[in-house]
Structure 1
Amino acid sequence: MAFTNWARAEGLESVATLDHFAPCHIAIDAEDYLNNLLTTTATREPLLPALGGLPFALQKHVDEDLASFKQAGITPLFVFNGLDVASRDRAMIGREAKKAAATLGEAWSIYDQGKGDEAVVAFGKACTYKTYHIVRWLQYHLHKAGIVTQTAPYIAAAQMVYMEQTGFVDALAGSAACLLFGAEKVITNFDWDTKRISWVELKQCLGKVLMNREPFVDLMLLSGCCPNILPCLPELEQHDSGVARVQSARSLLRRLNDDGHTVCLQQKDADYLNAFCKARFVVRHVPLMTEAGRIESQNAEKLPHDVHEFIGQRLPDELYFYLQRGVAGPRVLNCRTRMQVYETPPLDGGASAAYKELVQEKLRPLRAQALALMTRLLHRYFHKTDVDVVCWFAEGDKRPLGIPDLTEPAAAADTWHVPESTMAKSTGIDVTAGPLFYSIQFLASESAAHETQTPRRNNAPGILSRPRELLANVTWRFLHDRGYINPDHTLSGWGKALKASLDRARASGLLSSAWQTTEAEEAIFMAFELLRLDVLNTKTMFPTPPFSGPPLRGSEADKANTLLVSRIASLGLFRHSTIGYTGPLSRHLLAYHQMTAAVRSALRDLLEMHACQMLLSGAVARDVPASELTDLGARLSFVREPDLGLALIVKSYLDELSNEVGRRSDVKKWFNHAVDVEGDLQKAWLMWEAVNAGVQAADSSIVTNETRKMFKGADDWLQLKREGAPTTNGTP
Structure 2
Amino acid sequence: MPAAMSARPLDEWANTRTQTFDIAALKGSAIGIHATHYLDLHLNQYVTKEPLLIALGGFPFALQANITRELQALKAAEVTPIFVFDGLDAGKPYPDFSAQTENAKALQQAWDYYDQQQADQVVDAFSGAGSAHPESLYKFLQRILQSEGINFIVAPYAASAQLAYLEKDPHRFIDAVFGPAELFFFDVEKIITKMDTELRHFSWVTKSLCQEEFGRLSNEQFLDLGLLLGSPFLPTFPPFETPGYPGKRVNIREALGMFNSGGRNALTLCSQFEEDQRIHELDYADRFKRAFMTITHHVIMDVDGKVGPLDPENASSDLHELIGQRLPEELYFYISKGIMGSRVPNWLTSGELLLSLPLGAEDTPIYRRLLTEKLPPIRTQALCLLSNSLHRFYQTKVINVRAWYDDKTDKSIHLKDLPSVKDTISSWRIGGKQLPESVQKLQDNSPLLTFCLSALKEQSFVSKSFSPKDAAALTSKQEIVSNVTWRFLQLRGYVDTKHQLTSWGKALESALSSLNPSDNLEEPTFLAIELIRLGILNAKDWFPNISGGPMRGSDEEQQHNLLISRVACFGKIQHKPIGYSGPLSRQLLSFRSLVSTVRATLRDLIEVILATLLLSGEASRDREDWAELGLSLPFIDDNDCGLAIAVRTYLDDLPQEPEPTPQIVRDEVKAKGKEWFQHSHSFSENLDTAFHLWDAVYKATQTAAKEPMVDSKLWDDTNKWLSARR
C-alpha distance in structure 2 between counterparts of 1:698 and 1:468, whole Å: 30
C-alpha distance in structure 1 between counterparts of 2:209 and 2:500, whole Å: 67
Q: CA deviation at 1:317?
A: 1.1
1:314 to 322, 326, 329: 326
Contact residue 30 and residue 78 of structure 1 kept, 8 A: yes
Q: Cα–Cα, structure 1 residues 128 and 223, in superposed 2: closer, same or farther, change >3 Å? A: farther
Contact residue 143 and residue 630 of structure 1 kept, 8 A: yes
Contact residue 376 and residue 383 of structure 1 kept, 8 A: yes
Question: Which residue number in structure 2 is paired with residue 597 of structure 1?
Answer: 596
Q: Alpha-carbon deviations, 1:199-232, whole Å to 9, x = none?
A: 11111110111112112112222222x3x32232
Pairs aligned (count): 698
2:466 counterpart of 1:453: yes
Question: Which residue number in structure 1 is paired with residue 722 of structure 2?
Answer: 718
C-alpha distance in structure 2 between counterparts of 1:98 and 1:221, whole Å: 24
2:433 counterpart of 1:434: no
1:283 to 275, 295, 310: 295
2:343 counterpart of 1:331: yes
Query: Which residue type is aligned with residue 638 of structure 1?
Result: F
- Identical positions, percent: 35
Q: Alpha-carbon deviations, 1:125-148, whole Å to 9, x = none?
A: 344344432122112221122110
Query: Aligned to 1:90, what secondary structure does the other structure show?
Result: coil
Query: Which residue type is aligned with residue 162 of structure 1?
Result: Y
Question: Which residue number in structure 1 is paired with residue 224 of structure 2?
Answer: 218
Question: Which residue number in structure 1 is paired with residue 60 of structure 2?
Answer: 55
Once the two structures are superposed, the pairs formed by residues 178-257 of structure 1 within 5 Å of their partners are 178-210=183-215, 211-224=217-230, 226=231, 228-236=232-240, 244-257=250-263
Q: CA deviation at 1:322?
A: 0.6
Contact residue 399 and residue 413 of structure 2 kept, 8 A: yes
Q: CA deviation at 1:709?
A: 1.5
Query: Which residue type is aligned with residue 222 of structure 1?
Result: L
Q: CA deviation at 1:324?
A: 0.3
Question: Which residue number in structure 1 is paired with residue 569 of structure 2?
Answer: 570
Q: Alpha-carbon deviations, 1:633-658, whole Å to 9, x = none?
A: 10100011011110110111111123
Contact residue 68 and residue 144 of structure 2 kept, 8 A: no
Q: CA deviation at 1:350?
A: 2.9
Q: CA deviation at 1:409?
A: 2.6
Question: Which residue number in structure 1 is paired with residue 13 of structure 2?
Answer: 6
Once the two structures are superposed, the pairs formed by residues 49-128 of structure 1 within 5 Å of their partners are 49-86=54-91, 89-91=93-95, 93-128=96-131
2:381 to 366, 369, 386: 369
Query: Aligned to 1:487, what secondary structure does the other structure show?
Result: coil
2:642 counterpart of 1:645: yes
C-alpha distance in structure 1 between counterparts of 2:713 and 2:148, whole Å: 47
C-alpha distance in structure 1 between counterparts of 2:478 and 2:462, whole Å: 17
Contact residue 253 and residue 263 of structure 1 kept, 8 A: yes
Contact residue 373 and residue 610 of structure 1 kept, 8 A: yes
Query: Which residue type is aligned with residue 614 of structure 2?
Result: L
2:480 to 470, 479, 487: 470
Q: Where does the alignment leave 5 or more consecutive residues of structure 1 unmatched?
A: 723-732
Q: Cα–Cα, structure 1 residues 432 and 74, in superposed 2: closer, same or farther, change >3 Å? A: farther
**TM-score (ref. length: structure 1):** 0.91
Question: Which residue number in structure 2 is paired with residue 689 of structure 1?
Answer: 695
Once the two structures are superposed, the pairs formed by residues 701-712 of structure 1 within 5 Å of their partners are 702-703=707-708, 707-712=711-716
C-alpha distance in structure 1 between counterparts of 2:317 and 2:512, whole Å: 55
Q: CA deviation at 1:433?
A: 7.1
Q: CA deviation at 1:241?
A: 8.3
Once the two structures are superposed, the pairs formed by residues 525-604 of structure 1 within 5 Å of their partners are 525-544=526-545, 547-604=546-603
Q: Cα–Cα, structure 1 residues 104 and 243, in superposed 2: closer, same or farther, change >3 Å? A: closer
Q: Cα–Cα, structure 1 residues 433 and 284, in superposed 2: closer, same or farther, change >3 Å? A: farther
Query: Aligned to 2:122, what secondary structure does the other structure show?
Result: helix
Q: CA deviation at 1:466?
A: 0.8
Q: Where does the alignment leave 5 or more consecutive residues of structure 2 unmatched?
A: 1-5, 661-667
Query: Which residue type is aligned with residue 6 of structure 1?
Result: W
Query: Which residue type is aligned with residue 450 of structure 2?
Result: F
Q: Alpha-carbon deviations, 1:312-350, whole Å to 9, x = none?
A: 121111111110000001111111122122111133343
Q: CA deviation at 1:299?
A: 2.5
Question: Which residue number in structure 1 is paired with residue 499 of structure 2?
Answer: 489
Query: Aligned to 2:234, what secondary structure does the other structure show?
Result: coil
**TM-score (ref. length: structure 2):** 0.92
Once the two structures are superposed, the pairs formed by residues 598-613 of structure 1 within 5 Å of their partners are 598-613=597-612
Contact residue 6 and residue 242 of structure 1 kept, 8 A: no
Once the two structures are superposed, the pairs formed by residues 96-175 of structure 1 within 5 Å of their partners are 96-166=99-169, 167-175=172-180
Q: CA deviation at 1:236?
A: 4.4
C-alpha distance in structure 2 between counterparts of 1:174 and 1:114, whole Å: 40
2:431 counterpart of 1:425: no
Query: Which residue type is aligned with residue 615 of structure 1?
Result: L
2:631 counterpart of 1:634: yes
C-alpha distance in structure 2 between counterparts of 1:464 and 1:46, whole Å: 46
Question: Which residue number in structure 2 is paired with residue 21 of structure 1?
Answer: 26
Q: Cα–Cα, structure 1 residues 83 and 172, in superposed 2: closer, same or farther, change >3 Å? A: same
C-alpha distance in structure 2 between counterparts of 1:653 and 1:529, whole Å: 26
2:619 counterpart of 1:620: yes
2:359 to 336, 347, 370: 347
Q: CA deviation at 1:717?
A: 1.1
Contact residue 493 and residue 699 of structure 1 kept, 8 A: no
Moved more, 595-604 or 424-433: 424-433
2:678 to 648, 653, 672: 672
C-alpha distance in structure 2 between counterparts of 1:694 and 1:326, whole Å: 33
Q: Cα–Cα, structure 1 residues 349 and 237, in superposed 2: closer, same or farther, change >3 Å? A: farther
Contact residue 573 and residue 645 of structure 1 kept, 8 A: yes
2:534 counterpart of 1:524: no
2:267 to 261, 286, 292: 261
2:511 counterpart of 1:501: yes
C-alpha distance in structure 2 between counterparts of 1:384 and 1:400, whole Å: 13
Q: CA deviation at 1:194?
A: 2.4
Contact residue 372 and residue 403 of structure 1 kept, 8 A: yes
